[in-house]
Chains A and B, each alone.
Chain A
Amino acid sequence: MTHEFELPDVGEGVAEGEIVNWLVETGDPVEEDQPVVEVETDKAVVEVPSPVDGTVAERRAKAGEIVPVGDVIIVFDTDGDGKATETETETEAESEAEAEPASTTDVEAEATDRVFAAPSARRLARERGVDISAVEGSDPSGRITAEDVRAHAEETRAEASDGVESAVQPADESEGDTFTPASEGADRDRTLAVPATRKLADEEGVDIDAVPTDSEHDGEPFVTAEQIEAYTERQQAAQAADTRALQTGEREERVPYKGIRRTIGQQMERSKFTAPHVTHHDEVDVTELVETRDDLKQVAKERGVSLTYMPFVMKAVVAALKDHPYLNASLDESTEEIVLKNYYNVGIAVATDAGLMVPVIDDVNRKGLLQLSSEMNELVTKAREREIAREEMQGGTFTITNFGAVGGEYATPIINHPESAILGLGEIKEKPRVIDGEIVPRKVMTLSLSIDHRIIDGAVAGSFTNTVKQYLNNPALLLL
């Protein structure tokens, strides 16, 4: 008996995942719950455990491949004696053996082999990659209906995703892609592919038997057009690399645009080209804030919390948002409505090794500085370690990005779509300021506020920034 395992829904709303790294080989024995593959979604890398005890009969996706949720990625043999039938001779023997019953009249099959199901249900099973003999018939006599096939497919999927730990270890990105281009060519005698793929292979001058694949159709290696393309690209890259190495050494390196990087990119692109951005710049004297924070830092430390400026900024921002609801809003393009939000969930943009992530702290208006601090610290750490769950990055109403952490005064933050504004913080620097006719050193922070000019005008942006400044300039106001 085989168990076809579909890529489970590894996180809320995740539609596809990239196979980062296979943890098992064809033929390996596996135990239920043993991690078999690392999958990277747009936010996290998760280890997907086996839903059954058995042997790996077939891996249907290869490292680097992006697989939609619900596609069969691995087939387990659950008979115990299951052997991978990958070798050439076995495959041939198999297809001959299969052919035989058609040309003889003796019947050898066991009664139990017969499955009672309508042709439409059989076809559905094939479409869904379901082994129909594994489906339980719900009909009083045990007949398998299309509904049973569907239910079985769902069940396997659900079972699979039940077993998924929401987020596990950070993946070593390079591991997923350990191509050794020059030597990777497969060398099969028989490869299945649809005609269009063969045509493509021909056009690219690729020997289809040499294209690596983990996919199979009925136990035979199966190659897709994408695999041909990927193979061609890698071959070309390998050749180019060879030539370069011979000439001048590495001048360029190509890094795949994928996973979290690609998600960030897409999100940025969408935001930038949907909302007309306007950025308002200003600076604020935060000398008092620095002093206040210094005072409170010790108290916080005693309570086990490391207090940064961010909670103060969050408080100031929320206070200003209350006065300027359009900055705590989103434009619902489908209904042509501006959605003003009476809750204040603030996202904090965090740079991680994998790229930008935005954990969200909910209900900032209802939380004290210390609570905000500790929540934020926790989320930021999780994000850096890529242990953050999708839900912890959703539902924000406004985002703050602290580009000053790496130095710099002004920048143009891109709005975290579909929010309507984002505030960027520059570094706090000591700068000369004129107070009562005298030049004195003051602590100064720069602010860059980008707004969606469709629903917010420049004046509103300025007015919002003034309010934020007011609070940051005089932190005592935050206590009111």
Chain B
Amino acid sequence: MVVGDIATGTDVVVIGGGPAGYTAAIRAAQFDLDVTLAETNALGGTCLNHGCIPSKALVTGANTAHEAATAEELGIHADPSVDLGEMVAWKDDVVDQLTGGVEKLCKANGVNLLEGRAEFADENTVRVIHDGEGQGSESVEFQDAIIATGSRPIEIPGFAFDGDRILSSRHALALESIPESLLVVGAGYIGMELSTVFAKLGTDVTVVEMLDDVLPTYESDVSSVVKERAQQLGIDFQFGESAQDWEEMDGGITVHTETEEGEIDEYGAEKVLVAVGRTPITDTLNLDAIDLDTDDRGFIPTDDRTRTTLDHVYAVGDVAGDPMLAHKGMKEGEVAAEVIAGEPAALDYQAIPAAVFTDPEIGTVGLTETEAKEEGFEPVVGQMPMRASGRALTLEETDGFVRVVADEPSGFLLGAQVVAPEASELIGELGLAIEMGATLEDVGATIHTHPTLSEAVMEAAENATGKAIHTLNR
């Protein structure tokens, strides 16, 4: 404790006000625990301020512009001009509404909010260091702590983020004007989402990726739909190359890349976006003070109750490991709070869905066919191409498919891969089906509204059992 420091007591201290942290705090408060939430930047964390929400706002903006510009076939002729500054201001409004909402909810539930960086002083004390010179700090004594410090973008050597030339996703989401050209390092989901956004806004986008395909964690028939569309949007892919360094060159920059064989290439661009992944934040916490170790990837290991190796310290969200997704963090936050409150909570979900907001979108949940085999199931798959969907045709969006993976003997749904417009929404139904232990028959026998994209889910399930009407059965 610092001299003059006033220690306040709390049942639960939550460190980090992102989706994992604020969810944990609110839920814990709902159990009548005294909860203190410390956030160093802005409530809502990465998700609301620099991640999910801003990126989706810009996806919407870019889609609207792009659709307007490419609707000639529908008899619509428009030549939209986009003011990125205005779009970003609108996005900021959306963000403000949401972060304001989180703050209100925290307060309404009786969560004590503290602004500042929390670090451990000892096993039962955190010190919250307020921003700014001379702002001081205060100590909070806690019974239980929930670490929810999230993650930050990984920097690569030679490309320190400066917000001007070299951008992180966070910078890219706050640009005031549309860059003429953008070099994106990394073809993971963040790189692909933002590449798509800028390509649709008229930027000349080049993606440099060390591996040999986009979205390497997805099956190739999934990623290839997205890659082809990206190419149609004019995105240029350079696979098998890694970015080495850059130099300023008349008004723009030149980036040097290298292949595994040592071949050097160079690309000119106005700005570079580095999106090679995210790394958990634990260096802000002074974990040494409580003797808590991280694993070799920097995550804090936890069990299925979100407990760390210390019995009164929990970790949730990005800092607790993959998948680094907001909805996973929120569920973990709830579980942590409930476990602390003595409830029989656990992370025993069967599947965590994931969505990529590219064009078309990707939504996945549960096992792929290969994974199902590896797990010892006898998988059967059923697929419905979007081109056979009436609604997809009326949307002028016929690339992609809905695929379901099930266990053949029992019929239980095990997973699904959707590449389609609104795949991020469609995947919700399939996640529910998996959690409920629904069978192909259950999904196929459920009446879906016509004409909608969701009919494709029903059709895919029927296709797996050889009962599809609108596709040829396998």
Within 8 A of A (CB), among B57-73: none
- Pairwise interchain contact A111-B407, C-beta atoms closer than 8 A: yes
Interface string of A178-220 (1 = CB under 8 A from B): 0000000000001111111011000000000000000000101
Contact partner, A102, options B11, B302, B342, Cβ 8 Å: B302
Distance between B190 CB and nearest chain A CB, rounded to angstroms: 18
A289 at the interface (CB under 8 A from B): no
Enumerate chain A residues within 8 angstroms of B375, measured Cβ to Cβ: 107, 109-111, 114
Determine if B322 and A192 form an interchain contact, defined as CB atoms under 8 angstroms apart: no
Interface string of B284-306 (1 = CB under 8 A from A): 00000000000101010111110
A141 near B412 with CB under 8 A, answer yes
| Residue on A nearest B323 in the bound complex, by CB | A105
Q: Which one, A103, A119, A141, contacts B301 given CB within 8 A?
A: A103
Which of A109, A192, A195 has the largest count of B CB atoms less than 10 A from its CB? Answer: A195
Question: Bound state CA distance, A139 and B436, in angstroms?
Answer: 12
Of A14-22, A120-128, A378-386, the segment with at least 4 beta carbons within 8 Å of chain B is A120-128
Q: Which of B77-85, B263-271, B343-351 contacts A (4 or more CB under 8 A)?
A: B343-351
Residues of A within 8 A of B407 (CB): 111
User: How far, in whole Å, are A109 and B350 apart by their CA atoms in the complex?
Assistant: 12
A333 in contact (CB, < 8 A): no
- State which of A95, A104, A127, A199 has its C-beta within 8 Å of the C-beta of B322: A104
A112 at the interface (CB under 8 A from B): yes
B329-368 residues at the A interface, CB under 8 angstroms: 340-342, 344-350, 367
Contact of B410 with A by CB under 8 A: yes
Describe B's contact surface by its main secondary structure: loop
Write the nearest CB–CB distance from B376 to chain A, whole angstroms: 3
Asked if A302 CB lies within 8 Å of chain B CBs, one says: no
- Whether the Cβ atoms of A116 and B341 lie closer than 8 Å is no
Q: How far is the CB of A294 from chain B (nearest CB, A)?
A: 68
Contact among A99, A107, A111 for B303, CB-based, below 8 A? A99
Bound Cα distance from A127 to B338, whole angstroms: 13
Within 8 Å of chain B (Cβ to Cβ): is A12?
no
| Nearest Cβ on chain B to A72's Cβ, whole angstroms | 12
Interface residues on B, range: 35 or more
Chain B 431-446 interface 0/1 with A at a Cβ cutoff of 8 Å (1 = within): 0000111010000000
**B11 closest partner in A (C-beta):** A195
Q: Is A100 an interface residue (CB 8 A)?
A: yes
Q: A95-B309, A111-B407, A127-B344 are in contact. Are A199 and B374 (CB under 8 A)?
A: no
Q: In the assembled complex, which residues on chain A have CB atoms less than 8 Å from the CB atom of B217? A: 105
A-B contacts, CB under 8 A, total: 99
A103 contacts B321, CB within 8 Å? yes
A103-B295, A103-B301, A118-B436 known; A194-B412 Cβ under 8 A: no
- Given A103-B297, A111-B407, A195 and B143 contact (CB-CB distance below 8 Å): yes
A143 an interface residue at 8 Å Cβ cutoff?
yes
Q: How many residues of A contact B (CB 8 A)?
A: 41
| Residues in B whose Cβ lies below 8 Å from that of A307 | none
- A142, CB-defined interface residue at 8 Å: yes
A117 within 8 A of B: yes
A17 to B349, CA, bound (A): 36
Cβ–Cβ contact B376 & A117, under 8 A: no
A199 pairs with B11, CB closer than 8 A: yes
A96 located at the interface, meaning its Cβ lies under 8 Å from any Cβ of chain B in the complex: yes
B204-219, CB under 8 A of A: which get 1 and which 0? 0000000000000100
Nearest B residue (CB) for A104: B322
Closest B residue to A140 by beta carbon equals B439
- Interface: B221 (CB within 8 A): no
A218 to B304, CA, bound (A): 10
CB distance from B386 to the nearest CB of A (A): 27
Whether A199 pairs with B143 at a CB distance below 8 angstroms is yes
Q: How far apart are the CA atoms of A196 and B11 in the complex, in Å?
A: 8
- In chain A, positions 120-162 with a C-beta closer than 8 Å to chain B are 122-123, 126-127, 139, 141-144
Q: Does B416 contact A (CB under 8 A)?
A: no
Give every chain A residue within 8 A of B437 (Cβ-Cβ).
116-118, 139, 141, 143-144
Interface centre among B144, B342, B377, B437 (most CB of A within 10 A): B437
Selected from A102, A122, A190, A199, the residue in CB contact (under 8 A) with B311 is A190
Contact: A118 with B435, CB < 8 Å? yes
Q: Which residues of A contact B (CB under 8 A)?
A: 92, 94-96, 98-100, 102-105, 107, 109-112, 114, 116-119, 122-123, 126-127, 139, 141-144, 190-196, 198-199, 218, 220
Chain B residues in contact with chain A, CB under 8 A? 11-12, 33, 143-144, 217, 295, 297, 299, 301-305, 307, 309-312, 320-322, 340-342, 344-350, 367, 371, 374-377, 407, 410-412, 435-437, 439
Show 29 A/B contacts (Cβ-Cβ < 8 Å), sorted by A. A95-B301, A95-B303, A98-B303, A99-B321, A100-B301, A102-B304, A104-B322, A105-B217, A107-B367, A107-B371, A107-B374, A109-B375, A111-B376, A114-B350, A116-B437, A117-B437, A118-B437, A119-B348, A119-B349, A119-B435, A119-B436, A126-B345, A127-B344, A144-B437, A191-B311, A192-B311, A195-B340, A199-B143, A220-B311
- Given A116-B410, A126-B344, 17 new contacts (CB under 8 A): A94-B303, A96-B309, A98-B304, A103-B320, A107-B371, A111-B407, A118-B435, A119-B349, A119-B435, A119-B436, A126-B345, A141-B412, A141-B437, A143-B412, A143-B439, A144-B437, A194-B342
